[in-house]
Amino acid sequence: MSSQEIEVFTVCRADAIERGGAKGFNLSRIDESGESRPFPIVVLRTFGNDYHGYVNRCPHDGVWLNIGSGEFFSSDRAFIRCGRHRATFEIDSGFCIDGPCNGKALEPVALAVVDGDVCLCGVKLVEDNGFPDPFEDSDETMDIMIHPD
């Protein structure tokens, strides 16, 4: 078990996300039983140039955080906000500070920026998955850039 290599997967170019922006990715991962599972994530880049990754799923009701408007942020962009019932999360910790899942947290995804690429670490991904796109009903939802102005 300890001999397993850490998987590293390039998600996107680091500069593909603006400072203060976010981008969703609809990935698939291999679970413990070898099955492929949908693995939607969101990568956020702060104005201070840190990158944070979370599973794109509200802990309260399990929906994508950007459901509806495609927006990941509160109107002042200071927090992540679920589009369904408006749970509000800290960007750097994923901790919910307001809303129906107050006290819970988003599931973090380990990221590293390597040679200008945002890379996902420690997750076995399916690069060409056979899953129907869960976002197909909401077209642009998973490829939204939020510009600081």
| Interface with ligand FES (CB under 6 A) | 58, 60-61, 63, 82, 84-85, 87, 99-100
**Distance from C-alpha of 42 to C-alpha of 65, rounded to nearest angstrom:** 9
67 vs 144, beta carbon nearer ligand FES: 67
Q: How far is the CB of 4 from ligand FES (least distance, A)?
A: 34
38 vs 99, beta carbon nearer ligand FES: 99
11 vs 106, beta carbon nearer ligand FES: 106
Q: How far is the CB of 59 from ligand FES (least distance, A)?
A: 8
**Distance from C-alpha of 135 to C-alpha of 4, rounded to nearest angstrom:** 33
**Distance from C-alpha of 72 to C-alpha of 83, rounded to nearest angstrom:** 7
Torsional sign, CA 20, 25, 31, 34: negative
41 vs 82, beta carbon nearer ligand FES: 82
Residue of minimal Cβ distance to ligand FES: 58
Count CB-CB contacts under 10 A for residue 78. 12
Q: How far is the CB of 3 from ligand FES (least distance, A)?
A: 39
Q: How far is the CB of 54 from ligand FES (least distance, A)?
A: 13
What is the 3 state secondary structure string of 87-143?
CEEECCCCEEEECCCCCCECCEECEEEECCEEEEECCCEECCCCCCCCCHHHHHHHC
Q: How far is the CB of 77 from ligand FES (least distance, A)?
A: 18
13 vs 85, beta carbon nearer ligand FES: 85
